[in-house]
Structure 1
Amino acid sequence: MTGRQGRVQLAVTALVALAVVVGVVLAGRGDSRPAAAPAGPAGRPAGATGTAAPADAPPVVVPGRPGEPAATRAAQEVRDAAAPRYNGLDVWYVRMMIPHHQQAVEMATLAPDRAADPRVRAVADRIRAAQGPEIGVLRGWLGARDLPAEVAGHDHGTMRGMQSAEAMRELAAARGADFDRLFVRMMTAHHEGAVTMSTDLLKVGADQTLQEFANAVAVEQSAEIARLRDLVGA
């Protein structure tokens, strides 16, 4: 191969590499969500290698090393190495929703020994079954990004729907129909707070996983509010 042919091949390889890079950048720019907050690391869990392409994705041209030809590989073998995107409001939502869910589980745990209406006990069982695992999901989201769960100096009692320590003591002391009425009233207010928090995040959040999580919370807890109100005419 002559020197001229070698230079032509190098130029072609460089152009292919540039086209691939530009294509990846433009694909990333297609996401119109807010950029990640600079204050928080946007890392991924240890060992993660990105997101695989769908099975029907077209093949990808992968540039070779200098002087080597480009290669065509199946899209499933090429992963997006970009860090997951989130913003400060995503982080705030997760940190607030953990104690919010914890209080709902605490309230629901009181029902088996205190509720008179079996339907109240059934609602409480559903709340424990749903929100307990969701706390684990939220903690995992923070852990994957090396973010602490606690917010120093924050009073969780100021969150929407959170019940005061006095109200929680009153609920724990109640029995029978009195417990049922208190539980329905307090859990309804608690769910309404979670729905508002989740609806707010849907407007401003950047993380796709949290968008799906918040949407599920808003839908499921809105339905739960309707069931609670039907129980004792709250």
Structure 2
Amino acid sequence: MKIKASFDGLKLALSNFEGEIAGAATEAMRETMPLAKQELRDQITSSGLGQRLANTWRGNVYPQSRRSVNPAGYIYSNAPDIVDAFSRGATIRPLAGRRFLAIPTNNVPQTRARGARKQMTPEEVQLAFNQDLFFKRGPNGRVYAFVNAVQSRNRKSFKPSTKGRLAQGRAEKPVLMFVMVPAVRLPKLLDLDAVAAKWTSRFEASFAQRVEAP
């Protein structure tokens, strides 16, 4: 006598069960990942770091077009160095043997680089105003960098002291361009670990709810 057992029904049941688990896990990840990304963005704006930096957060769920029992939510920033600095409270120091960091004031003109506007560097300011910066020492190891310039017609900016502008009666005066500091200690404004822990827990709860649902 031969006994033959068939496991076709069991295989089908297991296959259906795995499909339900994959669906629940993937749906839970697709629900929670965008919310976690939004909280990271909100954390940046509420810290006063601006919407532009907040928008550097991006996110994807993998796999993108099918379900999986092990879905992954990947959230990343297009400005990782800045985000890392404010999440650690890093100290920024000069590189390449320089003694100071140059912190621009509102008097520093803007220039366009790669389609974006940014304030000029000390070297660019010297070229734009056709003169070297001159310095005055201040408290706490700071040094203040100036150029001689005249005010623009709309009185909103400063221009090089050309003969034509001086002939118009515009007075030349020292204009503060940079505050030179030995180092900058950034405050710890971001808590990425707390966001990750919170939304890992939310994913687990969302997954459990879907599995337990009739």
TM-score normalized by the length of structure 1: 0.31
* Larger strand percent: 2
Considering Cα pairs closer than 8 Å and 6+ residues apart, tell me whether 1 or 2 has the greater RCO. 2
Q: Which has the larger radius of gyration?
A: 2
* Larger helix percent: 1
